Amino acid sequence: MTASAAATPRNTVLDLSRLLDPAAIAVIGASTNPKSISGQPLMHMLACRYEGKLYPVNPNRAEVQGVKAYADVREVPRPVDAAVVAVSAAHVPKALEQCGEAGIPFAVVLTAGFQETGDAAGADMQRELDAAIARSGVRVVGPNCVGLMNVRTRAYMAFGGALGDKTLRPGPLAIVSQSGGFGLSIMALANAHGVGSNYVVSCGNESDLTFFDFAHDLLERDEVKMIAAYMEASTEGVRLRELGRHALEVGKPILMLKVGNGGAGRRAANSHTGRLTADYTLFRTAFREGGFIEVEDLDELADVARLVIGGKYPKGRNVGVLTGSGGWGVIMAEQCERNGLQLPPPSAESQAKLRALNSTFASLNNPIDQMANYAEQNKTLECVLDDPAFDQFIVRSGSGPDVDVWASRMIEIAEKTDKPIAVNWASVPGRDADVMQKLEQAGFLCAIYARRAARAVGIFTEFALKRLKFAQAGAASPARPLPRRPLDIGSSKRALSEHTSKQCLSQYGIPSTKEVLLSLADIMALKACPVSFPVAVKLASPDIPHKTEADAVRLGVNTLEELKRAAQSVQQSGRRHIPDARIDGISIQQMASGIEVILGAVNDKNFGPYVMVGLGGVMTEVLRDVTHRFAPVTMDDARDMLGELKGTKILEGYRGAPPADADALAQAIVSLSWLISDHRDRIDEIDVNPLFVRARGQGVVAADALVVTRGTDK
Amino acid sequence: MTASAAATPRNTVLDLSRLLDPAAIAVIGASTNPKSISGQPLMHMLACRYEGKLYPVNPNRAEVQGVKAYADVREVPRPVDAAVVAVSAAHVPKALEQCGEAGIPFAVVLTAGFQETGDAAGADMQRELDAAIARSGVRVVGPNCVGLMNVRTRAYMAFGGALGDKTLRPGPLAIVSQSGGFGLSIMALANAHGVGSNYVVSCGNESDLTFFDFAHDLLERDEVKMIAAYMEASTEGVRLRELGRHALEVGKPILMLKVGNGGAGRRAANSHTGRLTADYTLFRTAFREGGFIEVEDLDELADVARLVIGGKYPKGRNVGVLTGSGGWGVIMAEQCERNGLQLPPPSAESQAKLRALNSTFASLNNPIDQMANYAEQNKTLECVLDDPAFDQFIVRSGSGPDVDVWASRMIEIAEKTDKPIAVNWASVPGRDADVMQKLEQAGFLCAIYARRAARAVGIFTEFALKRLKFAQAGAASPARPLPRRPLDIGSSKRALSEHTSKQCLSQYGIPSTKEVLLSLADIMALKACPVSFPVAVKLASPDIPHKTEADAVRLGVNTLEELKRAAQSVQQSGRRHIPDARIDGISIQQMASGIEVILGAVNDKNFGPYVMVGLGGVMTEVLRDVTHRFAPVTMDDARDMLGELKGTKILEGYRGAPPADADALAQAIVSLSWLISDHRDRIDEIDVNPLFVRARGQGVVAADALVVTRGTDK
């Protein structure tokens, strides 16, 4: 077993309850030095009054830090739920085996010195550790981690300065981190923002239990309302997608801080599609698809956590903004728009109610500007609370001596609605802290800066809408729009010819340019062209997948004479390029026109099958304006993809051109997604490049295609 | 006089000293109610112990708020430096005239009810006010403002809750705000972040003294190290650019919070260039050109202010990052890159020094990761301090019991270098606040979040490099690369013909396609085409500037026969389009090829002349990928413009095409910038669309051009 290899499938019963909420803990290698790594777990649990039983194990001491010690973990009174292992690397395997003999189901191995060293000694140690884990039957956290904490019971099977923080309060956040120290930073900062954690897990080398094991288990716990995840590089794309789906099923967000996104470069790939897909692209695709909220830093994480705690999920992007400061209103409106929110005007009915208030407004539009009259602002809020124009509200807080009265009243009003209300705090940090705390305890986000408030509300809204859509659609997979079709593509790893590639597309309803495949001799004997001019002439050879490179393509051929010359010429070029290339014939194709699109699909080794679409030429080659979804996709997904393209207006009819057949393009994306999905065991990559999109109602047509098969015959 | 009309030219001597630092203040309309607007200035100045003399003016009271009052401002003992005017709108004109008679040079008019009401009564009041200002000779702040504050002497000629803040400390920030309340918010929040203000000015209606008057004056004051500006819509583009230049001259940044950037839409314009230029584009162009740092919100403003206070300006974008947390290092590196900073590795020499330290590093690259060993991190800092690889540093702070020792030592080390060092604070808000304060007092930015730290360092670095470049280049205007050339374009407002437009370009060295202008009769008599085929055939009429719309263009004409048909056809089309159109002839032009570019110049009524460049077709029409500079520009500016285009790689040779002649394109931009600049009194707009950029060494050629003259004969 190496890292991650032991990852437990989600459908396996894996109950981490005794690990996450242990009633008795053995500390193997407990040190008398409370500052040392091996002394800290005991020290912190004693200092914070861990609720359960503690058994230090130390062969040289009768007691450690004032607690009776045992020479051997097998001597410790049973039952023990979890052991902290803090002996040197060489002694860890034996300690795990003894845990197994002692009937201890879980061990948290803090010790470093395994595969993470990157040297031979570390690799040897890792092998011994993996063997010991397998033999012992003990489920292991780490090694090389800062441990695992239950904040409610103070089961701090961990080390680090943050554990000494006496202000730590338990709360609805669970933290799973692939960086030990950073997990504790998340806990400390969230706590400082009033967001308590219940569980904190540092994954370490993941030699047995992995990031995904913890995250799946935590999602199922009632006391966990959300997970904060710090994730480094990972090859576990499929498991990430499963986790995202699980989060949507239980309606709890995973606040994802993903690092290691730069510099990784493009993937090696045969297809253009593969080369246009950076590693990080697929992570983001998984985040968008599943119950994740990607956050950039810990301030954002804390703000979103407060919205989750508030427990109200907006049903749309329309925000009513209430302000007493015109300047602030302008800033907030701009920040809302930058974060995908919309500010519609209040309904006529609401405006009438507002006019009847006998208050003075600088604006009855949105933001509703009540000119520093915070005493009256709650009345305004009541007027618009049920206005269907608004899915949620952002309110500029009152300030001054009556701020407490204002806040109390607003809390009462908020109880009448299931629309979330976020507060942008008008005061300076620290001022009226008691009122802010009262609002936070009542479930409000109180953000001092407009930008922070708008950003948090914006990304939380995206999650809320995804959650809503998932709940409405149910757990059903997308309906299959066409039957699974067989493909005649053999079983060896290779690039199929254009002709065969287009046949694959055809099986899934994606039309190609009209084409006739003839031998050179047949062409030379033609009396009339079997395809109407102008035509393209291409050499068809299984050994020459990249025909342009071989100079084996002629476009815009207009006469029979030209056709014959072109046919001779492409065959000669092919022979020059690869003298013994097998030649299937020469393909005569109708020239297509329309808007040029690149459509692709790849069966990614980490994430599974996905589709990609981009507009051709400069848009793809220079601007990399492409977008991705995992396959299969629905028509809605496909239309969303087209809407995400920066150049999407090109499809609407640019410079007076008629609108393109975007529906047919979306349909082609759906079909391609089923093609790669149905045949994921046999196909690696598909390029449809270019696909021409004709005017509305006239469909699409593939002018070239390349299918690279996976090869299953070895 | 209406708002802004009285703006004082910068070269006029305007000394605001007595206004900004008054030794005696009259409060006209001082109320006995300390909570009312007219009672607050006196109340706050008394409560905060204003250093100068205070004279309430109130005809009905012998004393106001315990201070001897005067019935008439003319009875107040002289000299008085400034009067606060808080009487009702109808009484303001008279009060100002009385100030004039009393020899008071400045008045701060808090009263509202003038043009800002938008109604006829307000407009009448405004006219009376303007007349009174002119008659009185008093220089006026406002009306309809929250006032003006000197925080050092507590001359609070203003009202608002923030004035009661007992924690306000004077400092190096001056605030000029077009929103009254928001200026006070900036003051309060900056103060809470340890950044004190010395002057706060709310501009109000700007009926006399304007935003620009204040900003220019404040830039010249030694005690002002930077200005925070809140700016709404403005038509004063030229003055904004002058202000930006002034800021660069004195080397002090203007932290600009510009709002009202959305929704304004495109400008009405005859040219494509004009339509591609949003209002906000020219503001951003002015911000980039001048000594501005655009900030999005007040947290960013406070962070950048701390860097200015630190007083060290980086000489480049290379940052050395020191960390004890691998996870944090990854986040910081990504955030730095997003904000235009670079993380080069340390020099070999530095790395050798680091290895000799006998410390353990997780990475000797950048970030330099010392694995939580903060005790040793200062030694690491000393090793790399003089490394020329780094222009500046971001250091993850220590934490725990020895954080004070760490901080003191780092402050000592920082004294040895002129490279700025920013601290990313490892702890939670509030923890070790004394140490953080000590660092801030020593001039360090201490930002808790990696993103905030990187963003502040990034935008401050852009300012520092602009400041450095300006200092090196000196105050000289760009050298003229070609002499001023006369243009034969008449003096009426009109769109010039393509032929005349191209002659204008030619005068400034921008070549056009080879062209012959002939009458239809001459063409019909031709025996050979005077331009080599293929050619374009276009009708030349001063009355038909948009020839394509009139169907008066034929492209790709290949034979003499086709040419004659095309000539007849375009003349017919023109006649159909405008029956009595004047016809100069028919232009036969060589067809050009290369990379299609749109080049434009506009003499903007607010900002003055500018140039614009974009890549043709989709890039401009759909993506609006264009960039702007005020004219004239240098070759460096023009090259920077090309580098800013998202599609800039197209010029480098895309899909195997040879690199384009970017130098010739840059030269054309420079030439066009001088053309619009030299003839700004006669030309409104110029489109060169398309300009073809040929392969390197082969220059550019304009295939079409449109010059719209300004018209000076009315």
pLDDT tens per residue across span A267-312: 456 677 777 777 788 999 999 999 999 999 899 999 999 999 999 9
State the Cα–Cα distance between residues A505 and A673, nearest whole angstrom.
Answer: 11
* SS3 at position B424: strand
Strand B24-28's sheet: what is its strand order? B53-57, B24-28, B82-85, B106-109, B139-141
Determine the pLDDT at residue B185.
87
The closest of A238, A245, A322, A234 to A280, measured between CA atoms, is A234
Q: For residues B482 and B360, is the Cβ–Cβ distance under 8 A? A: no
In terms of phi and psi (left: phi > 0; alpha: psi -120 to 50; beta: otherwise), the region of B695 is: beta
Please give the biggest Cα pair distance in chain A: 104
Q: Does domain A514-590 have CATH number 3.30.70.1150?
A: no
State the Cα–Cα distance between residues A545 and A436, nearest whole angstrom.
Answer: 66
Q: For residues B704 and B510, is the Cβ–Cβ distance under 8 A? A: no
Token digits for B228?
């925070």
Answer whether A188 touches B (CB < 8 Å).
yes
From chain A, the residues in CB contact with B298 under 8 A are 449
**Contact yes or no for B647 and A299 at CB 8 A:** no
| Beta-carbon contacts of residue B68 (< 8 Å; ≥ 6 apart) | B55, B56, B62
Tell me which DSSP letter residue A568 carries.
Answer: H
Answer whether A373 touches B (CB < 8 Å).
no
State the Cα–Cα distance between residues A35 and B21, nearest whole angstrom.
Answer: 58
Nearest to B654 among A426, A448, A618 (CB): A618
From chain B, the residues in CB contact with A652 under 8 A are none
From chain B, the residues in CB contact with A328 under 8 A are 181-182, 185
Answer whether A333 touches B (CB < 8 Å).
yes
Give the confidence band of B267 by pLDDT, cuts at 50, 70, 90.
very low
Nearest to B337 among A262, A430, A621 (CB): A262
Q: Where are the alpha helices (DSSP H) in B137-232?
A: 180-192, 211-219
Q: For residues B425 and B450, is the Cβ–Cβ distance under 8 A? A: no
Q: For residues B223 and B210, is the Cβ–Cβ distance under 8 A? A: no
Please compute the mean of the pLDDT values over residues A437-443 and round it to a whole number: 89
Query: Strand (E) positions, A403-531?
Result: 421-424, 446-447, 515-518
Determine the pLDDT at residue A269.
60
CA distance A56 to chain B (A): 26
**Contact yes or no for A654 and B621 at CB 8 A:** yes
Q: Please determine, for residue A656, whether its predicted confidence score (pLDDT) is greater than 80.
A: no
Give φ, ψ of B589 to 5 degrees.
-125, 145
**Contact yes or no for B257 and A331 at CB 8 A:** yes
Nearest to A621 among B193, B300, B655 (CB): B655
Residues 654-673 of B with CB under 8 A from A: 654-655
CA distance A90 to chain B (A): 21
State the Cα–Cα distance between residues A211 and A209, nearest whole angstrom.
Answer: 7
Quick one: A712 exposed, middle or buried, by C-beta within 10 A (0-12, 13-18, 19+)? exposed
For A107, B128, B234, the CA distances from A125, given in Å and listed in that order, are 17, 90, 69
Residues 64-83 of A with CB under 8 A from B: none
Measure the CA dihedral B452/B458/B462/B468, to 10°. 110
State the Cα–Cα distance between residues A497 and A709, nearest whole angstrom.
Answer: 11
Nearest to A449 among B298, B431, B655 (CB): B298
From chain B, the residues in CB contact with A449 under 8 A are 297-299
CA distance B475 to chain A (A): 35
Give the confidence band of B225 by pLDDT, cuts at 50, 70, 90.
very high
Given the DSSP bridges, would you call strands A595-604 and A226-231 parallel, antiparallel or unpaired?
unpaired
Q: Please determine, for residue B206, whether its predicted confidence score (pLDDT) is greater than 90.
A: yes
Determine the pLDDT at residue B548.
82
Determine the pLDDT at residue B347.
96
Token digits for B583?
């016809």
State the Cα–Cα distance between residues A274 and A558, nearest whole angstrom.
Answer: 35
The three-point CA angle B223-B224-B226 to 5° equals 155
Determine the pLDDT at residue B116.
85
Please compute the mean of the pLDDT values over residues B48-66 and round it to a whole number: 96
Given the DSSP bridges, would you call strands B700-702 and B608-615 parallel, antiparallel or unpaired?
unpaired
Residue of B nearest to A426 (CA): B185
Answer whether A568 touches B (CB < 8 Å).
no
Cis peptide before B79 (omega within 30 of 0): yes
Answer whether A399 touches B (CB < 8 Å).
yes
Q: Please determine, for residue B8, whether its predicted confidence score (pLDDT) is greater than 60.
A: no
Determine the pLDDT at residue A426.
79
Residue in the structure block whose two tokens are 């000799």: B356
Q: For residues A503 and A703, is the Cβ–Cβ distance under 8 A? A: no
Q: Where are the alpha helices (DSSP H) in A62-210?
A: 92-101, 120-136, 180-192
Token digits for B645?
């285009």
Span between the terminal Cα atoms of chain A, in Å: 25
Q: Where are the alpha helices (DSSP H) in B526-614?
A: 560-577
Determine the pLDDT at residue B261.
63
Token digits for B394?
């971001």
**Contact yes or no for B335 and A297 at CB 8 A:** yes
Cis peptide before A530 (omega within 30 of 0): no
Orientation angle between helical segments A450-473 and B298-310, nearest 10 degrees: 140
| Beta-carbon contacts of residue A3 (< 8 Å; ≥ 6 apart) | A115, A205, A206, A207
Determine the pLDDT at residue A38.
94
Instruction: Give strand pairing partners of A139.
Output: A106
Domain B595-709 superfamily per CATH: ATP-grasp fold, B domain (3.30.470.20)
From chain B, the residues in CB contact with A297 under 8 A are 331, 335, 449-452
CA distance A231 to chain B (A): 9
Q: Kindly list the domain boundaries of chain B, sorted by start residue.
A: 17-261+268-304, 311-473, 514-590, 595-709
Give φ, ψ of B242 to 5 degrees.
-60, -40
Overall size of chain B counted in residues = 714
**Contact yes or no for B299 and A647 at CB 8 A:** no
Q: Give how far the C-alpha of residue A106 lies from the chain's centroid of Cα atoms, to the nearest Å.
A: 30
Given the DSSP bridges, would you call strands A515-518 and A446-447 parallel, antiparallel or unpaired?
unpaired
The closest of A314, A317, A293 to A305, measured between CA atoms, is A293
> What digits encode the pLDDT tens for the residues B612-622?
999 987 788 78
Q: For residues A357 and A350, is the Cβ–Cβ distance under 8 A? A: no
Nearest to A330 among B259, B400, B655 (CB): B259
For the entire predicted model, the pTM comes to: 0.90
What number of other Cβ atoms are within 10 A of residue A461's Cβ? 24
Q: Which CATH architecture has domain B17-261+268-304?
A: 3-Layer(aba) Sandwich (3.40)
Q: Give how far the C-alpha of residue B55 lies from the chain's centroid of Cα atoms, to the nearest Å.
A: 41
| Beta-carbon contacts of residue B659 (< 8 Å; ≥ 6 apart) | B651, B652, B653, B695, B696
**DSSP assignment of B95-117, as one string?**
HHHHHHHTT--EEEE----SGGG
What number of other Cβ atoms are within 10 A of residue B452's Cβ? 20
Q: For residues A160 and A169, is the Cβ–Cβ distance under 8 A? A: no
Give φ, ψ of B135 to 5 degrees.
-65, -40
Determine the pLDDT at residue B1.
37
Residue of A nearest to B398 (CA): A161
CA distance A698 to chain B (A): 23
- Averaged confidence pLDDT in chain A: 90
Token digits for A602?
């790849």
Q: Please determine, for residue B2, whether its predicted confidence score (pLDDT) is greater than 70.
A: no
From chain A, the residues in CB contact with B185 under 8 A are 325, 327-328, 426
The closest of A300, A195, A203 to B331, measured between CA atoms, is A300
Answer whether B232 touches A (CB < 8 Å).
yes
**Contact yes or no for A185 and B654 at CB 8 A:** no
Given the DSSP bridges, would you call strands B553-557 and B535-540 parallel, antiparallel or unpaired?
antiparallel
Given CA atoms B324, B330, B335, B339 in this order, what sign does their dihedral have?
positive
Token digits for A635?
């028509």
- Averaged confidence pLDDT in chain B: 90
CA distance A296 to chain B (A): 8
CA distance A391 to chain B (A): 22
Domain A1-9+165-310 superfamily per CATH: Succinyl-CoA synthetase domains (3.40.50.261)
Q: For residues A39 and A156, is the Cβ–Cβ distance under 8 A? A: no
Nearest to A430 among B192, B296, B646 (CB): B192
Determine the pLDDT at residue A47.
96
Determine the pLDDT at residue A4.
41
Fold of A17-143: Rossmann fold (3.40.50)
- In this predicted complex, what is the ipTM? 0.85
Give φ, ψ of A608 to 5 degrees.
90, -170
Quick one: A418 exposed, middle or buried, by C-beta within 10 A (0-12, 13-18, 19+)? exposed
Q: Which of A664-673, B226-235, B651-660 has the lowest mean pLDDT?
A: B651-660
Give the confidence band of A168 by pLDDT, cuts at 50, 70, 90.
very high
Q: For residues A694 and A511, is the Cβ–Cβ distance under 8 A? A: no
Percent of chain A's residues with pLDDT above 70: 95
Give the confidence band of A264 by pLDDT, cuts at 50, 70, 90.
very low
Determine the pLDDT at residue A255.
98
Determine the pLDDT at residue A12.
54
Instruction: Give strand pairing partners of A150.
Output: A155, A199
CA distance A671 to chain B (A): 28
| Beta-carbon contacts of residue A220 (< 8 Å; ≥ 6 apart) | A250
> What digits encode the pLDDT tens for the residues A83-134?
999 999 999 999 999 999 999 999 999 999 999 888 899 999 999 999 999 9
From chain A, the residues in CB contact with B231 under 8 A are none
**Contact yes or no for A428 and B230 at CB 8 A:** no
Domain A311-473 superfamily per CATH: Succinyl-CoA synthetase domains (3.40.50.261)
Q: Which of A16-25, A30-39, B183-192 has the lowest mean pLDDT?
A: B183-192
Residues 142-161 of B with CB under 8 A from A: 161
Q: Which helix (H) or strand (E) holds B245?
A: helix B237-250
Orientation angle between helical segments B662-678 and B498-507, nearest 10 degrees: 100
Residue of B nearest to A299 (CA): B449
Percent of chain B's residues with pLDDT above 70: 95
Determine the pLDDT at residue A654.
72
Q: Which of A101-110, B2-11, B353-362, B628-637 has the lowest mean pLDDT?
A: B2-11
What number of other Cβ atoms are within 10 A of residue A559's Cβ? 12
CA distance B256 to chain A (A): 13
State the Cα–Cα distance between residues B443 and B439, nearest whole angstrom.
Answer: 7
**Contact yes or no for B179 and A326 at CB 8 A:** yes
**Contact yes or no for A185 and B426 at CB 8 A:** yes
What number of other Cβ atoms are within 10 A of residue A358's Cβ? 7
Q: For residues B84 and B25, is the Cβ–Cβ distance under 8 A? A: yes
Token digits for B598?
């749109």
A17-143 shares its CATH topology with A595-709: no
